[in-house]
Structure 1
Amino acid sequence: MTDPLAEIGSLSAVDFDAGALFSGQPSGREIKGYAAACRHTPAIDPDYLFPAVMRDLVVWFMSGNDPLYLFGPTGSGKTSLVRQVAARLNYPVFDITGHGRLEFSDLAGHLTVDNGSMRFQHGPLALAMKHGGLFLLNEIDLLDPASAAGLNGVLDGAPLCIPENGGEVIPPHPMFRFVATANTNGGSDGTGLYQGTLRQNLAFMDRFWLCEVAYPDSTAEIQILERRAPALPADLRSTMVEFANEVPDTSISGARVVRELSALIDVTRATDLERGTLHTPDHGVERGVRERLVVAAWKQKVCFLEQGKPPQKVDCGFR
């Protein structure tokens, strides 16, 4: 049987012009990548719109081997940004999502049973270090700080030692890159929105380049909608973005509105599928009215609750 990792070992590094690759305009600045993609390389999304912070990520790629820590609110596109930059560079990506019970063996590898015998299976971190891939650790701020400290050596550029595999030592490949994503900057969550996140060790955080990824601005959101839904009229796309921006996204009140609205949309979609009205001409208008009603109601309800007053009747502006 063909080794699925064999093609990674045969990848050859090449230099790309960073400007030509990401903006179509040659810049004379070289960035390293691979000549061809492999099965571990993310697929290129032709409709993906790179945010302005992409420049910071490209500069980081060109600068060296220091680890990168991307943080920002949920849904701001941290993981997709990393994967789409890697896709353009033909970089293989080995990713894992952090959680409170994640252990170092989940990253480095563990013994497993294969055809009745024991063998060692390398984890995503070991594979990235060995073959020159990008290791992507999502939700790193959910890790226990004591467990995360086990990565300090790797973050400093030291080889990875795996005692469980006969003391195997994996020096970092020259193309190895380490990226972490999180909702917080490592200093824990003061908003109450990201339950389970933990304050990370300062010595651990000091090893990263920190880069914040915010939500796209209104202009970028309209461009994204244009690429994703070109059949929608331009004025409708603008209205949708304006409507979305009415909902606060940095407060607990905003989170409640978004959560309740998302739940309504899911229930509505299921109901409309049942009724067979999902694609009727009036369906979009009807849903838009219902969603605006819910947002307006929740905005006022949360406002009154925060002031210690009972919710009042809501005038949503419809007659």
Structure 2
Amino acid sequence: MEVAENTIFYKAIGSEMDVFIHANKLKLPLLLKGPTGSGKSRFVEHMAHRINTNLITVSCHEETSATDLIGRFIIKGAETIWIDGPLTIAVKNGYILYLDEIAEARPDVIVAIHALTDHRRELFIDKLGETIKAAPNFQLVASFNPGYQKGFKELKPSTRQRFIALSFDYPAAKIETEIVSTESECSQEIAQKLVAIGNKIRNLTELGLAETVSTRLLVDAAKLIQDGLPKRLAVHIAVVEPLTDEPDTIQALKDLCDLMI
């Protein structure tokens, strides 16, 4: 669980900021859809700071359960006491709760947030036998990657229709260059070359990569270059190696990147 405190750089690529402000004002659940590293989490952190509200982020995984979100009893000394989970804390205090990669979580998580995503705005804590009305400023935001493990871990239509939704994708080359340069403090020339590499690999669909080059990976490569690591090595370890373990594909990508950098 992370609580956002400081401002964070985000470059808008459309009307997503306006959508978020209206959704927050109306307290509508918001779903962010898009590939890994396309700025979903960064966007939520930036907007929480922009509207001056507290944000609790939960990175969901296959073991994330409703108990993890709602809370549990623990033994403290000779007593058994209840500890609120991040969802309960956000509901009671009127924070934004961001469930990152919600489709990765166990099905009971969806059940837990069910009544929070409609007109009731309630959280039922079965272990306490209590129902809590969400504080006026509470908002639920979730994200998922539609292309990841397609057919295995997807949100049901009945769940998706409880949210308004925004689609994210990798930004246009000009904007992505600005992001890479700003985040890493590297030159425009280096940023442009890295973005060109990223776009080239993204278009190589024949490689069958499970995930393609994210803006995050390009920023990491730029930071390494800016810190003095040789350009080719930086691209190899920050862009190529995270994408695949197949030796032939790695070599092909390295050869491509060497030519372009």
Structure-2 residue corresponding to 1:228: 183
Name the SS for the 1:164 alignment partner. Answer: coil
**Secondary structure in 1 aligned to 2:127?**
helix
Tell me: CA distance 1:258–1:121, structure 2 relative to 1, closer, same or farther (3 Å): same
Question: Which residue of 169, 193, 196 maps to 1:242?
Answer: 196
Give 2:154's aligned residue. 199
CA distance in 2, matches of 1:199, 1:286: 37
- Quote the Cα distance in structure 1 between the aligned partners of 2:18 and 2:195: 25
Structure 1 residues 210-221: aligned runs within 5 Å? 210-221=165-176
Match of 1:127 among 89, 111, 117: 89
| Higher RCO (CA 8 Å, separation ≥ 6 residues) | 2
For residue 284 of structure 1, report the CA deviation from its aligned partner. 2.7
Q: Using the alignment, how far apart are the partners of 1:174 and 1:129 within structure 2?
A: 9
Q: Deviations over 1:272-315 (max 9, x none)?
A: xxxxxx73xxx534537868xx79xx9xx56xxxxxxxx9xx79
- Aligned with 1:110 (options 72, 86, 102): 72
Structure 1 residue 255 and structure 2 residue 209: aligned?
Answer: yes
For 1:69 and 1:168, how far apart are their aligned partners in 2?
A: 27
The answer to whether the 8 Å contact 1:142/1:196 transfers is: no
Shift of residue 77, structure 1, vs aligned partner: 1.1
Preserved CA contact (<8 Å) 1:98 1:139? yes
Q: CA deviation at 1:96?
A: 1.5
Which protein shows a greater Rg?
Answer: 1
Matched, 1:162 2:135: no
Q: Secondary structure at the match of 1:137?
A: strand
**Unmatched tracts of structure 1, length 5 or more:** 1-38, 270-277, 303-310
Whether the 8 Å CA contact 1:247–1:254 is kept in 2: the answer is no
Letter in 1 for 2:202: P
* Letter aligned with residue 106 of structure 1: D
Partner of 1:9: none
- The answer to whether the 8 Å contact 2:113/2:123 transfers is no
Amino-acid identity (%): 22
Task: Name the stretch that deviates more: 201-210 or 125-134.
Answer: 201-210
> Distance in 2 between the 1:257 and 1:170 partners?
40
Letter in 2 for 1:226: S
CA 1:249 to 1:124, structure 2 compared with 1: closer, same or farther past 3 Å?
farther
Partner of 1:75: 37
Question: What letter corresponds to residue 6 of structure 2 in structure 1?
Answer: A
C-alpha deviations, 1:77-103, integer Å up to 9, x for none?
A: 111110110012221112222223332
For 2:6, the equivalent position in structure 1 comes to 43
Any conservation in 1 of the 2:65–2:106 contact (CA below 8 Å)?
no
Whether the 8 Å CA contact 1:41–1:90 is kept in 2: the answer is no
Residue 54 of structure 1 and its aligned partner are, at CA, apart by: 2.7
Which whole-Å CA distance do the structure 1 matches of 2:87 and 2:235 have between them?
A: 48
Q: Which amino acid aligns with 1:138?
A: D
Gaps of at least 5 residues in structure 2 are none
- TM-score normalised by the chain length of structure 2: 0.75
Match of 2:20?
A: 57
The size of the alignment, in residue pairs, is 237
1:287 aligns with 2:242: no
- CA apart distance, 1:132: 0.5
Q: Secondary structure at the match of 2:110?
A: helix
Q: Separation in 1 of the partners of 2:55 and 2:87?
A: 10
Distance (whole Å) between structure 1 residues aligned to residue 191 and residue 7 of structure 2: 25
